[in-house]
Amino acid sequence: MAPADTPPTVPGQWLGGPGAPGQHSRSTAAPHDPAFLDLAGLEEQARSVLPPAVADYYAGGAETETTLAEATAAWRSWRLRPRVLRGVAAVSLATSLLGSEVRTPIGVAPWAYQAMAHPEGERGCARGAAAAGALMAVSTSASTPLTDVAGTEPLWPKWFQLYRLHSPTHTDDLARRAGQAGYRALVLTVDLPVLGRRLRDVANRFALPADLPLGNHPPAAAVAADSPVWTFDDIGRFAELSGLPVVVKGVLRGDDAARCVQAGAAAVWVSTHGGRQADPVVSSAAALPEIADAVGDEVEVYADGGIRSGSDVLTALALGATAVFVGRPVIWGLATGGADGVSRVLDGLSAQLAHTMALCGLSDVRSVPRDTVTPAR
Ligand SMILES: Cc1cc2nc3c(=O)[nH]c(=O)nc-3n(C[C@H](O)[C@H](O)[C@H](O)COP(=O)(O)O)c2cc1C
């Protein structure tokens, strides 16, 4: 017999459509419950298969690692305020991101050098994201050329993330080719005017493996010493070059977000780059409300950094995000299980989100009211 507090049907079941987490039969520690996700255990498992310096490169942050250390705690400095008696029989996680339909508001953040984590590299990550109904942002620093990743699960939406490379013509060319290859948006990462100082990498004398392919980087001969720095004017310029909506990633201030929108950004992405750039900086959770207020309903707002549970996701949605992205959990998923590992992580977080929403009397990720959360104190 079911325990007394088990309802006859479980509200908040995933209604994300075909391929939803509940419908996968994968081998996990708890195959009956996709929401079971031990991310700390997964990182440990990833560390057992990766060279220590590579695992540290993925896990580490910049300088004192204060931003890195505070990221998850900042989401958890909010408390949920559940609504009761709302008749929530089912939860829908489906949403639209810049016009692309996805089955979950949890996407894959761009991360570099995926072949270093697993031989399937970006192609495996793309297959895992598609299986989970999640959008994937593909890094400029991918191991796999952007056209090959676009050709993996070609019908499933992907965005291309652009870095300013030391060859302006090559950077422009990547933007153009991303548009031609079928990416649905161009993500300009603007929080890396120079590389953050990542002290674990210095201590480990970390260097990329000599044979690691860099699918999109310019040939050494094209590298220029005087590549121009980006300004707000580049937002419109890249939109024109690529023919794609431009998302500006790495925004932490309301005034900057408003200027991005004025300059033509289709969305802003609140991010500390996983604590790998300036440090210590304001957490994404602390910056998000100010940024959501500054741009209002004009554009979509995304957030990442330290999101590790369904309740972290729900908090971000309540604070004004249309979607969130995850980095390291996906890295550990790919490293330990290739495409399946990626979809297990995303499915787990999605199932947790659906469950938490049901507990809070919410049925639709597209309408999570701000008063769903309140500061812990
Ligand atoms: C190993 C690693 C590589 C990354 N590479 C990129 C990148 O190539 N481009 C980019 O815009 N952000 C990059 N990021 C930042 C992520 O897109 C994202 O902002 C961050 O990982 C989110 O935080 P989380 O890892 O705590 O989920 C990287 C992050 C990590 C951990």
Where are the domains positioned within the chain? 50-82+105-347
**Cα gap 235→190, rounded to integer Å:** 10
Contact 67, 275 (CB under 8 A): yes
How far CA 363 is from CA of 76, 243, 359, in Å, comes to 22, 35, 10
The per-residue pLDDT string of the chain (377 residues; one tens digit each, 9 = 90 and over) reads: 344 454 433 334 444 443 444 333 344 445 568 889 999 999 999 999 999 999 999 999 999 999 999 999 999 999 999 999 999 999 999 999 999 999 999 999 999 999 999 999 999 999 999 999 999 999 999 999 999 999 999 999 999 999 999 899 999 999 999 999 999 999 999 999 999 999 999 999 999 999 999 999 987 777 777 788 999 999 999 999 999 999 999 999 999 999 999 999 999 999 999 999 999 999 999 999 999 999 999 999 999 999 999 999 999 999 999 999 999 999 999 999 999 999 999 999 999 999 999 999 999 999 999 999 999 98
Protein residue whose Cα sits closest to atom 28 of ligand 1: 111
- Let me know if 207 is exposed, middle or buried by CB neighbors in 10 A (0-12, 13-18, 19+): exposed
Q: Which residue has the tokens 């270093």?
A: 116
- How many Cα atoms within 13 Å fall on the side-chain side of residue 376? 8
Query: Which residue of the set 24, 32, 170, 273 is catalytic?
Result: 273
Would you say the CB of residue 338 lies under 6 angstroms from ligand 1? no
The DSSP symbol for 228 reads P
Ligand 1 pocket: which of 50, 276, 342 to mutate (most atoms within 8 A of CB): 276
Would you say the CB of residue 356 lies under 6 angstroms from ligand 1? no
Is 273 among the catalytic positions?
Answer: yes
Would you say the CB of residue 208 lies under 6 angstroms from ligand 1? no
Q: Retrieve residue 129's tokens.
A: 């994201």
**Cα gap 123→338, rounded to integer Å:** 9
**Cα gap 116→188, rounded to integer Å:** 23
Q: Which residue has the tokens 């031609």?
A: 180
Question: 112: CA distance to ligand 1 center in Å?
Answer: 7
CATH class of 50-82+105-347: alpha beta
pTM, two decimals, is 0.93
Would you say the CB of residue 111 lies under 6 angstroms from ligand 1? yes
